[in-house]
Structure 1
Amino acid sequence: MRRSTVIPFVLISSIHMASCDQSTQSNQLLKQNDSIKNQVTPQYIGLYQGTTPCMGCFSRCDDCPGMAVDLQLNADQTYVLSRLSLSGHNQAEEIKGQFKFINTEKSLIQLNGVPTRNIILVDLVNKMLEIRIDGTGEEYENFDDFSLNLTG
């Protein structure tokens, strides 16, 4: 009699322990899924494009078509900057590197490795970037000439 009581008890205990293991695994999976959902994609990432004044000018010139600029910002704070002189006065360039936020509001970034026009205002409301004056981060008088729009 005693043996017939022990066997069902052992079976029930084993089943209960197995279900606890599955419950623990399920809880761990749910926590992992929640953690992935909580990772927010930064709003600034994307490809920005525009035509800016040539490197020597502070506004558009009548006799110069300017520069085509593409700037890809990535979530890992890396960038790819491509600049092409539409007049042919300068060599095309592509620079890859990292950027950093240089103010507490995280609205100004600095492109590391870019010698000029490396301070950028991030305008999330209008989905655009504005290239700022080197060194000061102030806007150009004709700031519309230095805007890059989010393309996608």
Structure 2
Amino acid sequence: MKNRILIPLFASSVLLGCQESNQPNTQVSEVNDKLVEKKIIPQWVGYYQGTTPCMGCFSRCEDCPGMAVDVELKDDMTYVLKRESLSGHNEIETLQGKIVFKDSAQTKLELLNVQTRNQLFVDLENKMLEIRVDKTAEPYQAQNDFLLEQI
């Protein structure tokens, strides 16, 4: 006598269902695309650059060309900072790390892993960063010498 194997209806429907699940789900893909499109990028995110007084000065000197400063603020709360002495005395300094906001309006921030000139003020209206005095975050007396424009 031959043994018959009975496959329950449930098992066969599961096997057939697996074949259908290999097809791409366009609804899920469309939802993911819409979420990516709607990602809101904060206004402070971007590239900023300018020329500031050299590290030892609090305002521009006639004899010193100053420093070229580039800062990239990223939406993942990180930054990349490049500083170059225009007098040629130092190598290009590249620093990176995390950003910490000091206020709820996200206009006062600190660049972690930066020892000097790590306090910044974001001027969203004029699309600028202002480098502030270390620790106190007060403006420098020659405030206009410490501005970086968003590019």
Scaled by the length of structure 2, the TM-score of the pair is 0.76
Q: Counterpart of 1:127?
A: 127
Q: For 1:86 and 1:26, locate their aligned partners in 2 and report how far apart those are by CA, in whole Å.
A: 54
Q: For 1:34 and 1:81, locate their aligned partners in 2 and report how far apart those are by CA, in whole Å.
A: 33
Q: CA offset at residue 28 of structure 1?
A: 6.0
Q: For 1:133 and 1:49, locate their aligned partners in 2 and report how far apart those are by CA, in whole Å.
A: 18
| SS of equivalent to 1:144 | helix
Q: Counterpart of 2:52?
A: 52
| SS of equivalent to 1:95 | strand
| SS of equivalent to 1:44 | coil
RMSD: 1.9
Q: CA offset at residue 44 of structure 1?
A: 1.1
Q: CA offset at residue 32 of structure 1?
A: 4.6
**Residue-by-residue CA offset, 1:78-131 (whole Å, 9 max, x unaligned):** 111000001123332000111111112210110000000000001110001000
**Residue-by-residue CA offset, 1:47-71 (whole Å, 9 max, x unaligned):** 1000000001000000100000000
Q: Does 1:84 align with 2:91?
A: no
Aligned residues: 128
| Percentage of matched positions with identical amino acids | 50
Q: Counterpart of 2:111?
A: 111
Q: Which amino acid aligns with 2:53?
A: P
Tell me which protein shows more helix as a share of its residues: 1
Q: Counterpart of 2:99?
A: 99
Q: For 2:37 and 2:81, locate their aligned partners in 1 and report how far apart those are by CA, in whole Å.
A: 30
Q: Does 1:75 align with 2:75?
A: yes
Gaps spanning 5+ residues in structure 2: where?
1-24
Q: CA offset at residue 37 of structure 1?
A: 4.4
Q: Counterpart of 1:144?
A: 144
Gaps spanning 5+ residues in structure 1: where?
1-24
Scaled by the length of structure 1, the TM-score of the pair is 0.76
